[in-house]
Chains A and B, each alone.
Chain A
């Protein structure tokens, strides 16, 4: 029993903390402070509202609407970011030329381009996907850039001395080296992508998760709004912890990058 508790201590205590948090929230607003529905909601109402939105299909439709531009923008970021980062790392002069400009963009709050993107591309899928692309591409560029620069030159020379061609260098040395960097970049990028989805939909949209949160808050339907916030939290944790788990399993020697 003690051994079992010692092994599972972290998940047990963590889940207990979360359960206690929700119970305390419910209890305080039921017996402690009288509930003012225009300021706060309580878990029983939130979950009831969430089930209603699930049964009516509203939640699933909103998730699909928001998911489509996320997929487009994210895939485009992978397709552009990784090759660009690899070229920047492999061709030294390209790296010298692009690094300062792109670093300036990466360090600045790129969400600020949202009004411009909406002026140029509209409020539909195209506008959202562009904004997502702009935010997601930088982690991919800089992580594959750093990955290529950490390639072991000894390995390159070894492949060359055994008669390897340029293609073999990429297949045998470069891709395996940058893969952990790229996966870590994918984890940063998904967080930025979710920010972009919300910004795009807060600004102007008629459907989607972000729109629904803004709509419920305008209508002061706080229990439904909390439901959507919880859904987004669960999705965000699932994405980032899922990628972190993949990193730990696939590249155990690189944990904590």
Chain B
């Protein structure tokens, strides 16, 4: 490839490098714009029957719906409800997962005893427990928090455990021969070593937590929240409002995972490629 361009290089150096460096960005953004434009102009090419029109929403209609949600003041209470349930569930998951993960990584017996349960619950879609959770915790914020908690717990737990297990034996032995206690070993070697793993786990956990908010609000875990707005809109066939909720959820999880991904690369900068791919 580069050989073929080499002969032209003298004539169009600057333009070519600009295109070559920005090609992924231009093509990626361009494709998204293209999809939105096509979606917008579909109705002007096909005349839709009345029934079809009812179920169709163009991007402008969706953005008007988001604007209406903001203007009517319905968005903020719903957003506050959804995000506080998200934050509380995630915080509880972090508090529970880190000690348990360190314990499972440091003690072989604990690992062997807990592993079947972790594997089983991690493989199962946590959604099956939703009816049970609603019976136990009722309809409201508590149920949503519990759903978020069990969703976010396992990626964090498993990644903490992997990180602790992969701690360098040599470093642990060095610290130990200088007379360190178990607490010092954890503080000096194990936890710094597992930090990148924990942050990767956090990224996965955020995805699961947003998923938990969505499903818990869909299936009667709460009477408020953005998911509830979506379900009510879909039962009255307000497709634009359903899309609006979908876009809000998408934006939230993209922003949150983006932030964690930035932290992840920051922490991984000095690390060999091996740990990054996890």
Report the minimal beta-carbon distance from B215 to chain A, rounded to whole angstroms.
Answer: 6
Residues of A within 8 A of B (CB): 9-10, 13-15, 17-18, 21, 38-39, 93, 96-101, 104-105, 107-109, 111-116, 118-120, 191, 194-195, 198-199, 202-203, 213-214, 216-218, 220, 222, 225-226, 228-229, 232-233, 236-237, 239-241
* Contact flag A225-B234 (CB < 8 Å), given A17-B117, A108-B250: no
* Contact flag A236-B117 (CB < 8 Å), given A109-B207, A112-B249, A229-B129: no
Interface SS of B by simple majority = helix
* Contact flag A203-B119 (CB < 8 Å), given A119-B234, A225-B132: no
Report the minimal beta-carbon distance from B16 to chain A, rounded to whole angstroms.
Answer: 15
Contact B131 A108 (CB under 8 A): no
* Contact flag A101-B257 (CB < 8 Å), given A202-B127, A214-B131, A236-B123: no
Q: Which residues of B contact A232 (CB under 8 A)?
A: 124-125, 128
Is the CB of B32 closer than 8 A to any CB of chain A? yes
Q: Which residues of B contact A233 (CB under 8 A)?
A: 120-121, 123-124, 128
Chain B residue nearest in CB terms to A108: B250
Query: Which of B28, B35, B130, B213 has the most chain A CB atoms closer than 10 A to its own CB?
Result: B28
Q: Which residues of A contact B113 (CB under 8 A)?
A: 13-14, 17
29 A-B pairs with C-beta separation under 8 A: A10-B112, A13-B109, A17-B116, A18-B117, A99-B28, A104-B250, A107-B257, A108-B249, A109-B207, A111-B211, A111-B214, A112-B230, A112-B250, A114-B218, A115-B231, A115-B242, A116-B243, A119-B239, A202-B218, A213-B128, A213-B131, A216-B131, A217-B131, A217-B134, A222-B132, A229-B129, A232-B125, A237-B119, A239-B123
Is the CB of B63 closer than 8 A to any CB of chain A? no
Q: Which residues of B contact A100 (CB under 8 A)?
A: 28-29, 31-32
Contact A112 B214 (CB under 8 A): yes
Contact B28 A101 (CB under 8 A): yes
Q: What is the total of A-B residue contacts with beta carbons within 8 Å?
A: 153
Q: Which residues of B contact A240 (CB under 8 A)?
A: 123
Q: Which residues of B contact A239 (CB under 8 A)?
A: 123
Q: With A39-B136, A113-B246, A214-B131 given, can you name 13 additional A-B contacts, CB distance below 8 Å? A: A13-B109, A13-B112, A18-B117, A97-B27, A101-B28, A107-B253, A108-B253, A109-B213, A112-B246, A114-B218, A202-B218, A202-B219, A233-B121
Is the CB of B237 closer than 8 A to any CB of chain A? yes
Interface magnitude class on chain B = 35 or more
Query: Which of A98, A99, A202, A203 has the most chain B CB atoms closer than 10 A to its own CB?
Result: A202
Contact A229 B128 (CB under 8 A): yes
Residue in B109, B112, B124, B249 whose CB lies within 8 Å of A109:
B249
Chain A residue nearest in CB terms to B203: A107
Q: Which residues of A contact B32 (CB under 8 A)?
A: 100-101
User: Could you mark each residue 46-66 of chain B with 1 if its beta carbon is under 8 Å from any beta carbon of chain A, else 0?
Assistant: 000000000100000000000
User: Could you mark each residue 19-40 of chain B with 1 if its beta carbon is under 8 Å from any beta carbon of chain A, else 0?
Assistant: 0000110011111100100000
Residue in A17, A109, A225 whose CB lies within 8 Å of B114:
A17
Contact A93 B131 (CB under 8 A): no
Contact A93 B234 (CB under 8 A): no
Contact A14 B131 (CB under 8 A): no
* Contact flag A199-B215 (CB < 8 Å), given A18-B116, A107-B207, A115-B230: yes
Contact A109 B211 (CB under 8 A): yes
Chain A residue nearest in CB terms to B35: A101
Contact A109 B210 (CB under 8 A): yes
Report the minimal beta-carbon distance from B252 to chain A, rounded to whole angstroms.
Answer: 9
Residue in A14, A107, A114, A120 whose CB lies within 8 Å of B116:
A14
Query: How far, in angstroms, from A13 to B121 measured CA to CA in the complex?
Result: 18
Query: How far, in angstroms, from A27 to B250 measured CA to CA in the complex?
Result: 46
Is the CB of B115 closer than 8 A to any CB of chain A? yes
